[in-house]
Amino acid sequence: MERIELCGALHARVDGWRAAGERLALVPTMGNLHEGHLTLVREARAHAERVVATIFVNPLQFGPGEDLGAYPRTLEEDERLLAREGYDLLFAPAIDALYPRGQEDQTRVEVPRLSDILCGASRPGHFVGVATVVCKLLNMVRPDVAVFGEKDFQQLLVIRRMVEDLAIPVEILGAPTVREPDGLAMSSRNGYLSSQERRRAPALYRALTLAGDALREGGAVDEVEGAASAVLREAGLRPDYVSVRRASDLGPVAPGDCDLVVLAAAHLGRARLIDNLRVLRCSKG
């Protein structure tokens, strides 16, 4: 296990593994690791002989006034946690290693439509930053598989579409959301919550669960969304959106669609929390 910060050293190491015929898995993160991240590493290990984890707080995906400066950076602790999981390589580059000409002159990758809705509407340019950095990391590591968490469901679909459209030869795997005992999805930004806010936060998953139950019972989409938003407001959260979409492409639900996803984002104190819930129902049209 080793930590590398330079792109040239990364290329040399992964080229050696590839020449030896070993399968590679990539787990991109922004650090401040928790159990959710570690499950991604375990999933990656199940699919490859070599696991490359990356830690990079990507400035390109943060908008004006967002928490780039405050985002927790805990590299030494992250490395200790990864060591318990038996990763092979940690790539932790400086900003100028990935963006040597600066961010303004960086070629960018945009996935149309998927990037402009839901979180993309609330955070313009966010998914351009995500797609750009993930594309760079995939090209640098050239893994056989890359693992992402399903908590960021829209991000997962953006990356899958990018890989398909750009013909990048990698399999994108989604790992189930890891939750606290009270249902709150694990997230690095949960650390922003005060003790009082933390007690309110599980309302997000509760709202999703109620929405899922209502959909399975035949509830109308707009009524389900409205009821879930009300649950959030009653708990003291400020909804950004609650939206029921087709799970395959986040399109509007049409008669006959059975595989749905309820996605939600809400503000609570300094934190913006996101979560989602897959729902299987047979629409009666």
HEC states along 214-272? HHHCCCCHHHHHHHHHHHHHHCCCEEEEEEEEECCCCCCCCCCCCEEEEEEEEEECCEE
What pLDDT, on a 0 to 100 scale, did the predictor assign at position 86?
85
What residue spans in the chain does CATH classification 3.40.50.620 cover?
2-175
Q: Which of 11, 37, 47, 267 is catalytic?
A: 37
Distance CA 97, CA 87 (A): 22
Is pTM, for the whole model, over 0.85? Answer: yes
Q: Phi and psi at residue 23, in whole multiples of 5°? A: -80, 145
Contact call for residues 52 and 2 (beta carbons, < 8 A)? no
Report which of 20, 168, 27, 175 is spatially closest to residue 91, judged by C-alpha positions: 27
Domain 2-175: CATH superfamily is: HUPs (3.40.50.620)
What residue spans in the chain does CATH classification 3.30.1300.10 cover?
188-280
What pLDDT, on a 0 to 100 scale, did the predictor assign at position 134?
98
Distance CA 114, CA 278 (A): 18
- β 271-280/259-268 pair status: antiparallel
Query: 183: exposed, middle or buried (C-beta count within 10 Å: 0-12, 13-18, 19+)?
Result: middle
Contact call for residues 260 and 244 (beta carbons, < 8 A)? yes
H or E stretch covering 43: helix 35-45
What pLDDT, on a 0 to 100 scale, did the predictor assign at position 284?
47
CATH number of 188-280: 3.30.1300.10
What pLDDT, on a 0 to 100 scale, did the predictor assign at position 6?
96
What pLDDT, on a 0 to 100 scale, did the predictor assign at position 225?
98
267 catalytically annotated: no
From first to last of its 285 residues, the chain has per-residue pLDDT tens of 899 999 999 999 999 999 999 999 999 999 999 999 999 999 999 999 999 999 999 999 999 999 999 999 999 999 999 999 988 999 999 999 999 999 999 999 999 999 999 999 999 999 999 999 999 999 999 999 999 999 999 999 999 999 999 999 999 999 999 999 999 999 999 999 999 999 999 999 999 999 999 999 999 999 999 999 999 999 999 999 999 999 999 999 999 899 999 999 999 999 999 999 999 987 444
Beta strands in the chain (DSSP E): 2-4, 24-29, 50-55, 89-91, 145-149, 171-175, 238-246, 259-268, 271-280
Distance CA 281, CA 216 (A): 5
CB atoms within 10 A of CB 213: 12
Query: 116: exposed, middle or buried (C-beta count within 10 Å: 0-12, 13-18, 19+)?
Result: middle
